[in-house]
Amino acid sequence: MQSLYVEGNSVMHRLSPRLKLLSLTIFGVVLFISGNLILLSIAVLLTAVLYRMVGLPLADGLRRLRPIFLTIAVVALFNLIFNPWQEALVPLLRLTALMLLAATVTATTSITEFIDEVTALARPLERTGWVQADDIGLALGLVLRFVPEIVGRYQAIREAHKARGLKVRPTTLLAPLIILTLKDADNIAAAIDARGIRRHVS
């Protein structure tokens, strides 16, 4: 699975991931406090410039944001039917600026940096007994390892249906897929424990 990270050496690439995430949060809060159209327009311009600096070709950069921007635009349009234009424009600018900065952070932070940050964030929660921070990386790795496997299995089940002339329905397809996949859990768990990967579990 190709991550949305873009190789590069821009200012945003060099900033620490924690600082970027913190700024994104603060920026989000500030955006939602302010209702000033001029201020929000400046925010959109600034974040657009920042997003351009990532080094993504213009077409690629736009393609990434299209589905999100479309949702924002449709809601703004829907808003425009019922409310005066200023009231429809504020959320449009606000969410667009937030989207641009968030996309910039995503494009300039590698998956490894992100996982380190998430793990560090979960570390204080260990004392509550809810989560072991090291398990997060393990779980994420497991997901990425098994997605292709599951897609392959889905195709195999579908072909088996076709070969036997059965109609492809979600229930006849998904039930065996889920059962087959979850039945692997015991073996995978045994393999993880045999290697002593989760040292905190006796």
Partner 1 sequence: MSTRDLVLTALFAAIIVALGLLPPISLGFIPVPITAQSLGVMMAGVVLGARRGAIAVLIVLVLVAIGLPVLSGGRGGLAIFASPTAGFLIGWIFAAFVTGYLSERLVNHQQSGLVQTVSFFLTAMAGGIVVLYAFGITYLATVAGLGFTKAFVGSMAFIPGDVIKAFVAALLGRAVMVGYPLLPSRA
Work out whether 99 is an interface residue with partner 1 (CB under 8 A): yes
* Region 23-42 residues binding partner 1, contact defined as CB under 8 A: 24, 32
- Kindly identify the residues of this chain, within the stretch 139-168, that bind partner 1 according to CB under 8 A: 139-140, 142-144, 146-147, 149-151, 154
Query: Residue 127 CB, nearest distance to partner 1 (Å)?
Result: 16
Applying CB under 8 A, the site for partner 1 has a residue count of: 73
Q: How far apart are CA 119 and CA 135, in angstroms?
A: 9
Could you tell me the smallest distance in angstroms from the CB atom of residue 15 to partner 1? 15
Contact assessment for residue 22 and residue 109, using Cβ atoms and an 8 Å cutoff: no
65 binds partner 1 (CB under 8 A): yes
If 0-12 CB within 10 Å is exposed, 13-18 middle and 19+ buried, where does residue 129 land? exposed
Is 12 a binder of partner 1 (CB under 8 A)? no
- Max CA-CA distance within the chain? 64
The answer to the question of residue 50 lying near partner 1 (CB under 8 A) is no
Three-state SS at 25:
helix
CB of residue 120 vs partner 1: minimum separation in angstroms? 13
Site for partner 1 in 121-140 (CB under 8 A): 132, 135-136, 138-140
Residue 119 near residue 104, CB atoms below 8 Å: no
Which of residues 42 and 63 has its CB atom nearest to partner 1 in the complex?
63
- How far, in Å, are 4, 40, 52, 130 from residue 101 at the CA level? 14, 13, 11, 32
